[in-house]
A = this chain, B = another copy of it.
Amino acid sequence: MIRIGLVGAGRIANVHARTIDAHPNAQLVLVADPYEQAVKQLAEKYQARYSLDPNDVFTDDEVDAVIICSPTPLHVEHILQAAKAGKPALCEKPVAMETAAVEKLVAELSGIEHTTMLGFNRRFDPTFARMHKMVEDGVVGKVEQVTIISRDPAAPPKEYIAVSGGIFKDMTIHDFDTARFFLGDITSVYAIGQNLDPELKDTGDFDGAVITLTNATGATATITNSRHCTSGYDQRLEIFGDQATINADNIRANQVRISNGEFTDAKDVYLDFFLERYEAAYAVELNEFFAAISENRKPATSIEDGAKALRIAEAAEESARTGKVVYL
C-alpha cells in the first residue's frame, strides 16, 4: 500500500483523491492546503489527515509519495522538496511558467536520485494510448502528418487568463506534448494567434491559435485551438502514416443517435470538459505513477517532457507575436 500525500485541495486534487481511494494499492493519508475549508472537506471525505502547511507533506513519515496539485508558481519548489525528501512525486503540468525556471530545477535535481513524474494525462487516455501503441506496432507505418484539434467548450474567466501564462502554456501545452508523443523532438514552430472573441480582446492573450510544428524527419504536426466550441470540449487527433491513418473521435456521455425530419444520426454534445473527457486518463496516469514506484523505475513522463513542451510553448508565443518561424 502506497501512502499518498496531496499538496493542494482544489479541483484536480479532488479528482486524484477519488482515484487514490478507489485504487487497491494506494491510500490517501494527508492533504495540505492553506485554504482551510477546502482541505478539511477533502481530507474528511477520504478519512485522511490535513494540514494548512504544504511543507508538512514532504516531512511526514507516513507519506510514501506526493502528488503536487499546487498552483503552477509553486511547482518547482514542491518538486524539489519532494526530491530532497526522497519521496516520489507526480506534478501537474506545466512544470513552470518559464524554461529558465525548469532548467534551474533540472540542474538542482541533477545530483539527487529522484522519481518525478509529470502529469501529461493525455498520454494515458485509452484512445491516445491505443493510437500510440498502433504507431509503435507499425500499423501506421512512418508517421508523416499529425493533426490535432483541441478546443475548450468556453473561455475561462478573465481572472484566470490573467495568471494562466497565456493560451500556449495553459492550453496548447497538452497538445505540444501530444505532438512530441507521436513526433519526438520538435525543430520548428510557426504559430498564428487569433483574437476573435470581443469579450476577450483586452486580456492580452489569444483566444484561438493555429500552430505548425516539424520534427527532424520532416514530419509535421498541426494544432488548432480555440477557447470556445459550441458542441463541447472538442478533442480530436489524427495520425497519418504511409501505411494507415488513425483518428481519435470525441466522446459523448452515451451512445444514442437520433434521426427526425430535420437531421439524422445526431449524437449528444461532447463531454463538457477535461475532468469528464479525461476521467479515465487521470486514473491510468495515477496507476502509472504507483506502478513506477512499486517497480522502482522511471515513470512514463518526466520533467524533461515538461521542459520540452514548455520550450515549444515559448517558441509559439514568440512566433505568434513576431510572425516569424522559430527554430528550436
Contact = CB atoms under 8 A, between A and B. Distances in A.
Contacts of A250: 255, 264
Interface stretch (A116-124, A170-178, A228-236): A228-236
Interface stretch (A84-92, A106-114, A218-226): A218-226
B242 A196 contact: yes
Contact of A256 (B214, B218, B246): B246
A260 B147 CA distance: 17
Interface residues of A, number: 75
Interface in A166-210: 188, 190, 192, 194-197, 208, 210
Given A212-B190, A251-B255, A324-B324, A261 B231 contact: yes
B126 A254 contact: yes
Contacts of A242: 196-197, 228, 230
A194 B210 contact: no
A269 interface: yes
A259 B226 CA distance: 15
How many copies the complex holds: the figure is 4
Nearest to A245: B259
A318 to B, nearest CB: 13
Contact of A127 (B195, B230, B256, B323): B256
Nearest to A22: B22
Nearest to A322: B325
A270 interface: yes
Contacts of A208: 144-145, 220
A160 interface: no
Contact of A258 (B229, B245, B251): B245
A247 interface: yes
A171 to B, nearest CB: 15
Interface of A: 18, 21-22, 24, 45, 126-127, 130-131, 134, 139, 142, 144-145, 147, 149, 151, 188, 190, 192, 194-197, 208, 210, 212, 214, 217-220, 222, 224, 226, 228-232, 234, 238, 240, 242-270, 323-325
